[in-house]
Chain A
């Protein structure tokens, strides 16, 4: 089962990050975070961008950890999963930096 766990780890991490961003988006909009000014921006944008960058960093750390998997199919799947997870976290989270918040 370790093979399957390692092969899924990066993708599970993406799923977790995706859920966190979507959940924070719903909560932030419901509780009016975009109208709270903080440090030259609004609370909503700060929270979203910070969460996204943290998640990307977590994804990168997983790639580093995946290199320790046993060689062969297990390492290939672990590494691919981690790289895909990290890249997907970056791409699917990108809207937090470029789109309007709650409209």
Chain B
């Protein structure tokens, strides 16, 4: 087959239909990645306009430009948009677009999940923007502290918009995290060992793993606060045993790692672009990987430094202050590695390099003020002043926006297939750099002069006037810079000349393909023998186009890509990915209906979209797989491999593992909240504790154990080809999970106090609800196994579906036991 015929055939398989049909059904990673990036930039523009309005208001003392109500919405939405609708989705888009290309793969592990995440993001973001346009946007600050965000002080739907809209968007973040993790671990080119991976993949892997455990505490906090607002369960109300500090803990358990979740992908861009600009290899590959692992872990020990002024005892402050200072060490190690790389190489001052130099200056300054704020006595002085605003912008704009702009200019030829128009980008850079520093450097001074955050106006005799005016002027200069960047990109897309292949002379695999990238990425997948494949083999792109790599043969219209061993990169199996479908958008719409029903208070209606999501989820899983026996298939180079349905450790299993890690973190956060309230909250012990319930607890525990064992028996019988036994065990597992649900509900209804009376009862009920939900999911998994055996999809040697059902069965059993231990503990200890 000629290269051109292969290109046409592969495009027909991997491409998307033209027009709106393609828009709603495409699951291709390049399409979804591009959409994320464009939408994130659009949200960035909206957030930027809000920043302009904030600066217009603060430019002069006593300004009547906007009142306090609108101003509260402006700064809340500015922060929320930039954090949740710009930074995270922008990196997700970059990861979705680039990762398969850098890893030598044809797509991500779960294309439909990417598309579902995209639609959740765009629908959730639209809810927030619509609320802004209608004047009912969130107005309690981007961290939504209680009691300000509680029903008593925010009686309208403003806070609900944040809690529900952001949670909706977070579905996309968790989806992307699982998708990125599994794709990096399994979907690489054969031969790409972990120590041969591009550094960006390491950064994205660590970031994605951080997201898997960082987002659940916030999701839990949002659920609890929404339940408090909607039904009066007093998790955060100190009069009824709740604690506003619980919200702060849950929020910052997410919120501080979030800073590093935003920074690390951008640091990955620096580690990728900088060596190319310096025309050398990165210095200290292994040390950088070690540093980012250290950074990832340490970043989870800093959250309380956002709460230094809440009256926490000195010893606890000391723990977090020490950790906050310590985290500067791995960050500095990366900075030194980058400086060393520049020193070793022959740097060229091209536009991406300009942005990297800007990044160095700004981020280092932000890091230093971060170390200042990590010291408790200084933090007590500067807390909630504009000094903190200046610090966080130096870190986030310096640590994310500047590297991403470097990355944008570096990879734009890849997206557009076109070269840049000279000089406009340089002008934009200088406007952004000068405008940024004028805005935020001066803000350190206004902060040190005592100007608090989130005030809509100030008197003229405070000495802040000229600093604020200059800050506002600077912000408008910066806005002109960003507008010029947008114009530059538009000109490149629509007017510029075509770019040559690999215009930077880079050595990573994303440049081993025609520009713009075809839908299938590689006509055949490479075998990688070096960390910089194009340096080791400059003719690789040509040979791949000629079909001299893996999976050059086209069969059955399948979307095929290779899966490899996690560590060694040895060939493991062939993954057959699902094609274009409207299931993701339909499922996202149903999910959106659920959130809208809650937002508008139609609680009676909310179960309907939930049922729809369940049915669609079933359909989602059902449409995969096939009844026929396939066996090993040729993959090229005289080798054969099994397809993923017949091989152990398929992406579906890995994805389920990481989903359960996220789920387990949510349960852990709930148990932490329960323990925290017992130990710290006022008005404990509660007036009424659980007085009985051991029989119901025993029934639930035994049924949970039975459900776990029976699902395992069904799984092993199915893999062994004993369909009758497998079907029988699966039916019994369904029954056992139904008993768990009934026993848990019986325990709650018969023995627990009403959840509105005290945070103890509310927490206990929250745990019961968690257990019931997971028993129901395990029930569905067992029922699915039974149905798939009946339909002939599960047969001897097919391990994927049974192993996933087993995972969920095991998890449900474990969760039920943990929950029963916590709910019944007061009874047993009494």
Interface residues of A (CB under 8 A from B): 1-4, 7-8, 11-12, 14-15, 18, 21-22, 25-27, 29-30, 48, 72-73, 76-77, 80-81, 84, 88, 91-96, 98-103
- What's the Cα separation between A22 and B314 when bound, in Å? 12
Q: Report yes or no: B323 in contact with A77, Cβ–Cβ below 8 A.
A: no
- What's the Cα separation between A99 and B313 when bound, in Å? 9
Q: Report yes or no: A1 in contact with B322, Cβ–Cβ below 8 A.
A: no
Whether B567 sits at the interface, judged by CB under 8 Å, is yes
Chain A residues with CB below 8 A from B318, complex form: 94-95, 98-99
Q: Which residue of A lies closest to B318 (CB)?
A: A95
Q: Report yes or no: A77 in contact with B314, Cβ–Cβ below 8 A.
A: no
Q: Which residue of B lies closest to A23 (CB)?
A: B675
Q: Which residue of B lies closest to A12 (CB)?
A: B297
Q: Which of A84, A94, A100 contacts B322 (CB 8 A)?
A: A94
**Chain B 280-295 interface 0/1 with A at a Cβ cutoff of 8 Å (1 = within):** 0000001101100110
Contacts A15-B301, A96-B315, A101-B313 given; does A88 touch B293 at CB 8 Å: no
Contacts A1-B567, A92-B326 given; does A11 touch B294 at CB 8 Å: yes
Q: Report yes or no: A77 in contact with B286, Cβ–Cβ below 8 A.
A: yes
- Least distance between B34 CB and chain A CB atoms (Å): 30
Whether B409 sits at the interface, judged by CB under 8 Å, is no
- Least distance between A78 CB and chain B CB atoms (Å): 10
Q: Report yes or no: B297 in contact with A91, Cβ–Cβ below 8 A.
A: no
**Chain B 292-327 interface 0/1 with A at a Cβ cutoff of 8 Å (1 = within):** 011011101100000000000111111101110010
- What's the Cα separation between A99 and B567 when bound, in Å? 44
Q: Report yes or no: B294 in contact with A18, Cβ–Cβ below 8 A.
A: no
Q: Which of A3, A18, A25 contacts B315 (CB 8 A)?
A: A25
- What's the Cα separation between A55 and B286 when bound, in Å? 27
- What's the Cα separation between A81 and B679 when bound, in Å? 33
Q: Report yes or no: B290 in contact with A95, Cβ–Cβ below 8 A.
A: no
Would you mind naming 6 contact pairs between A and B with Cβ atoms under 8 Å apart? A8-B293, A18-B323, A73-B194, A73-B289, A88-B301, A99-B315
Q: Which residue of B lies closest to A102 (CB)?
A: B313
- Least distance between B592 CB and chain A CB atoms (Å): 36
- Least distance between B289 CB and chain A CB atoms (Å): 6
Q: Which of B286, B567, B676 contacts A76 (CB 8 A)?
A: B286
Q: Report yes or no: B286 in contact with A25, Cβ–Cβ below 8 A.
A: no
- What's the Cα separation between A81 and B294 when bound, in Å? 7
Contacts A12-B297, A72-B195 given; does A18 touch B319 at CB 8 Å: yes
Chain A residues with CB below 8 A from B495, complex form: none
Interface centre among B298, B319, B680 (most CB of A within 10 A): B319
Chain A to chain B: the 5 pairs with minimum beta-carbon distance, closest first: A95-B318, A11-B297, A80-B290, A73-B195, A30-B679
Contacts A92-B319, A99-B315 given; does A73 touch B301 at CB 8 Å: no
Q: Label chain A's interface by main secondary structure.
A: helix
Q: Report yes or no: A99 in contact with B314, Cβ–Cβ below 8 A.
A: yes
Chain A residues with CB below 8 A from B316, complex form: 22, 25-26
- Least distance between A93 CB and chain B CB atoms (Å): 7
Chain B residues with CB below 8 A from A29, complex form: 313
**Chain B 680-707 interface 0/1 with A at a Cβ cutoff of 8 Å (1 = within):** 1000000000000000000000000000
- What's the Cα separation between A18 and B185 when bound, in Å? 29
Q: Which residue of B lies closest to A84 (CB)?
A: B294
Chain A residues with CB below 8 A from B365, complex form: none
Contacts A22-B319, A30-B679 given; does A100 touch B314 at CB 8 Å: yes
Q: Report yes or no: B301 in contact with A18, Cβ–Cβ below 8 A.
A: yes
- Least distance between B778 CB and chain A CB atoms (Å): 25
Whether B648 sits at the interface, judged by CB under 8 Å, is no
Chain B residues with CB below 8 A from A88, complex form: 298, 301, 323, 326
**Chain B 108-152 interface 0/1 with A at a Cβ cutoff of 8 Å (1 = within):** 000000000000000000000000000000000000000000000
Q: Report yes or no: A15 in contact with B289, Cβ–Cβ below 8 A.
A: no
* 4 new A-B contacts at CB < 8 Å, known A81-B293, A99-B314: A15-B301, A21-B319, A81-B294, A100-B315
**B residues contacting the other copy or chain, number (CB 8 A):** 31
Q: Which of A77, A91, A98, A101 contacts B290 (CB 8 A)?
A: A77
Chain A residues with CB below 8 A from B290, complex form: 7, 76-77, 80-81, 84
- Least distance between A11 CB and chain B CB atoms (Å): 4
- Least distance between A60 CB and chain B CB atoms (Å): 17
Q: Label chain B's interface by main secondary structure.
A: helix
Whether B371 sits at the interface, judged by CB under 8 Å, is no
- Least distance between A3 CB and chain B CB atoms (Å): 5
- What's the Cα separation between A29 and B293 when bound, in Å? 33
Chain B residues with CB below 8 A from A72, complex form: 195
- What's the Cα separation between A60 and B552 when bound, in Å? 51
Q: Which of A2, A15, A73 contacts B286 (CB 8 A)?
A: A73
- What's the Cα separation between A36 and B322 when bound, in Å? 28
Q: Which residue of A lies closest to B323 (CB)?
A: A92
- Least distance between A61 CB and chain B CB atoms (Å): 18
Q: Which of B194, B313, B322 contacts A3 (CB 8 A)?
A: B194
- What's the Cα separation between A103 and B318 when bound, in Å? 12
Whether B566 sits at the interface, judged by CB under 8 Å, is yes
- Least distance between A48 CB and chain B CB atoms (Å): 8
Q: Which of A14, A30, A94, A95 contacts B297 (CB 8 A)?
A: A14
**Chain B 554-584 interface 0/1 with A at a Cβ cutoff of 8 Å (1 = within):** 0000000000001100000000000000000
Q: Which of B194, B297, B326, B566 contacts A8 (CB 8 A)?
A: B297
Chain A residues with CB below 8 A from B317, complex form: 95, 99
Q: Report yes or no: B293 in contact with A77, Cβ–Cβ below 8 A.
A: yes
Q: Report yes or no: B322 in contact with A91, Cβ–Cβ below 8 A.
A: yes
Within 8 A of A (CB), among B174-212: 185, 194-195
Contacts A73-B286, A77-B286, A94-B318 given; does A7 touch B326 at CB 8 Å: no
- What's the Cα separation between A3 and B286 when bound, in Å? 13
- Least distance between B666 CB and chain A CB atoms (Å): 17
- What's the Cα separation between A100 and B298 when bound, in Å? 24
Q: Which residue of B lies closest to A98 (CB)?
A: B318
- What's the Cα separation between A22 and B680 when bound, in Å? 13
- What's the Cα separation between A14 and B319 when bound, in Å? 12
- Least distance between B399 CB and chain A CB atoms (Å): 21
- What's the Cα separation between A95 and B317 when bound, in Å? 9
Q: Report yes or no: B294 in contact with A80, Cβ–Cβ below 8 A.
A: yes
Q: Which residue of A lies closest to B321 (CB)?
A: A95
**Chain B 652-664 interface 0/1 with A at a Cβ cutoff of 8 Å (1 = within):** 0000000000000
Q: Report yes or no: A93 in contact with B679, Cβ–Cβ below 8 A.
A: no
- Least distance between B204 CB and chain A CB atoms (Å): 14
- What's the Cα separation between A26 and B679 when bound, in Å? 7
- Least distance between A85 CB and chain B CB atoms (Å): 8
- What's the Cα separation between A70 and B58 when bound, in Å? 59
- What's the Cα separation between A85 and B315 when bound, in Å? 20
- Least distance between A21 CB and chain B CB atoms (Å): 6
Q: Report yes or no: A77 in contact with B289, Cβ–Cβ below 8 A.
A: yes
Q: Report yes or no: A95 in contact with B319, Cβ–Cβ below 8 A.
A: yes
Q: Report yes or no: A30 in contact with B293, Cβ–Cβ below 8 A.
A: no
- What's the Cα separation between A12 and B213 when bound, in Å? 13
Q: Report yes or no: A7 in contact with B293, Cβ–Cβ below 8 A.
A: yes
Q: Which of A21, A84, A100 contacts B313 (CB 8 A)?
A: A100
- What's the Cα separation between A103 and B311 when bound, in Å? 8
Chain A residues with CB below 8 A from B680, complex form: 26, 30
Q: Report yes or no: A103 in contact with B294, Cβ–Cβ below 8 A.
A: no
Q: Report yes or no: B314 in contact with A103, Cβ–Cβ below 8 A.
A: yes
- What's the Cα separation between A14 and B322 when bound, in Å? 13
Q: Which residue of A lies closest to B684 (CB)?
A: A30
- What's the Cα separation between A46 and B594 when bound, in Å? 52
Chain A residues with CB below 8 A from B301, complex form: 14-15, 18, 88, 92
Chain A residues with CB below 8 A from B323, complex form: 18, 88, 92
- What's the Cα separation between A56 and B319 when bound, in Å? 15
Chain B residues with CB below 8 A from A3, complex form: 194, 566-567
- What's the Cα separation between A15 and B314 when bound, in Å? 20
- Least distance between B326 CB and chain A CB atoms (Å): 6
Chain B residues with CB below 8 A from A15, complex form: 297, 300-301
- What's the Cα separation between A21 and B301 when bound, in Å? 12
Chain A residues with CB below 8 A from B326, complex form: 88, 91-92
- Least distance between A52 CB and chain B CB atoms (Å): 10
Chain B residues with CB below 8 A from A92, complex form: 301, 319, 322-323, 326
Within 8 A of A (CB), among B632-686: 676, 679-680
